[in-house]
Structure 1
C-alpha cells in the first residue's frame, strides 16, 4: 500500500470513527464490515476455535457502541482494534481451556499467510506458501507475533510495544532473536515472499 493510499485510508477511518462517536449507525456498520475479517484473521492466530474469536470480536464492537461518546481518536483505528481484541481474547482465556491458564508470555500464535484461491490453485505456489509457513512457525510464539505485526501489518516498534504490552527494547530484542533463529533460512524466506507478492501483483493487474 502506497503512502498516499495509507493516508487516505486513515482519513476514511477517522471519518467513520467520528461518525461512531456521534452515534451514526451507518458509520458503525461500515467499521464492522471493514474490520471484522481483518480482526478475525489476527484473533484466530491465538486460538483456532472460530466461535470464541467471533464472540470476542462481536463483544468488542458492542462495547465500542456502548462507550462511543467517551471514545478518543487513537493513533490508527486498525491498531486500536487490534489492541482491544488481543486484550479481550486474553480476558476470555478461560473459554479456551478449562484446565490451563494462559499468560502474555505463554500462548500460541499461528502464522499462516493467506494466499488467494487463484494463487493456491497452482500446486507449486501452495508448496511455496507452506515453506514460508514452516520457516516462520519454527519460531517461539511471541517472535512469530512480532514478525506478523512488523512485516504483515506494517506496525512500528512503538505500536507493537503497546499492542503486546512489552517495552520497545523487548520488541527489538525479540525481533533480533527471530532473525538469528532463521538466519540460515532468511534469504530463502525473503525470496519466497517476494515471489508470492509478485504473483499477487500480476493477478491484480490482470483483473
Structure 2
C-alpha cells in the first residue's frame, strides 16, 4: 500500500464505517466527530457561507444514516465523505446566501499550513506568505487538486471521482500546477536568498 493510501486510510475508519452501516449509533457519532472539522475545512474552500456549509455537512451525515443499509463498505472513508460533501454543495448551490452560481469558475480558497506541509525547515512568515500567494494565483481547479493531493493525501483515483474529472485530466491539471508553482518557486527562492544575504 502506498504512503498516499496510508494517509487516506486509518485502520479504525473502515471498522467504524461497517459498525455504522450495521446501525451502531456510537460508531456513527464517532465518525461525525472525526470528520466534521475536516469536511468543514474542505467545504469552506469551495463555499465560504458557513451556515450553508454546516447545513450541507449535517445533510450528508443525515443522508448517510438514512441510507446506511444501502451503503457499501469502504476502506477510504475520508474520500467517500469528501465526494458526498462536494456533490451536496454543488447540488444545493441555489441556497447559498450570496446567490452565486457555482460552476467551473468557483473560488477555491487555499490556506495551506505552509510550515508543516511544504517548507518545514524555513520558518519565515514572509516566504510563507509569498508561497501562499503563488498557490492562490493558480486556477481554481488546480488549487483544489493541489489541496486534495498534498494537504489531504488523496490519490489520483479519489481526486478524479471527487471532482468528477477523468484521471488524465487530474494528472494534466496537477502537472500544470507543478509547472506554474516551480517557475514561481525559483523566483521566490532567488528573492529570498538575496533578502537574507
The TM-score with structure 2 as length reference comes to 0.82
* More displaced stretch, 92-101 vs 39-48: 92-101
Counterpart-to-counterpart distance in 1, 2:80 and 2:112? 22
Counterpart-to-counterpart distance in 1, 2:128 and 2:92? 32
Counterpart-to-counterpart distance in 1, 2:79 and 2:131? 25
| Unaligned stretches of 5+ residues in structure 2 | 116-122, 190-197
| Unaligned stretches of 5+ residues in structure 1 | 117-123, 191-207
* More displaced stretch, 107-116 vs 157-166: 107-116
Is residue 20–residue 68 contact of structure 2 (8 Å, CA) maintained in 1? yes
- SS state of the match for residue 182, structure 2? coil
CA deviation digits over 1:37-59, x for unaligned, max 9? Answer: 00000000011111111110011
Alignment of 1:59-74 (within 5 A): 59-74=59-74
Is residue 179–residue 186 contact of structure 1 (8 Å, CA) maintained in 2? no
The TM-score with structure 1 as length reference comes to 0.78
Question: In the TM superposition, what is the alpha-carbon distance from 1:23 to its structure 2 partner?
Answer: 0.9
Change (3 A) 1:8 1:170: closer
> Which residue number corresponds to residue 166 of structure 1?
165
> Which residue number corresponds to residue 120 of structure 2?
none
Change (3 A) 1:174 1:7: closer
Asked if 1:23 corresponds to 2:27, the answer is: no
Counterpart-to-counterpart distance in 2, 1:30 and 1:188? 46
Equivalent residue pairs, number: 180
Is residue 7–residue 153 contact of structure 2 (8 Å, CA) maintained in 1? no
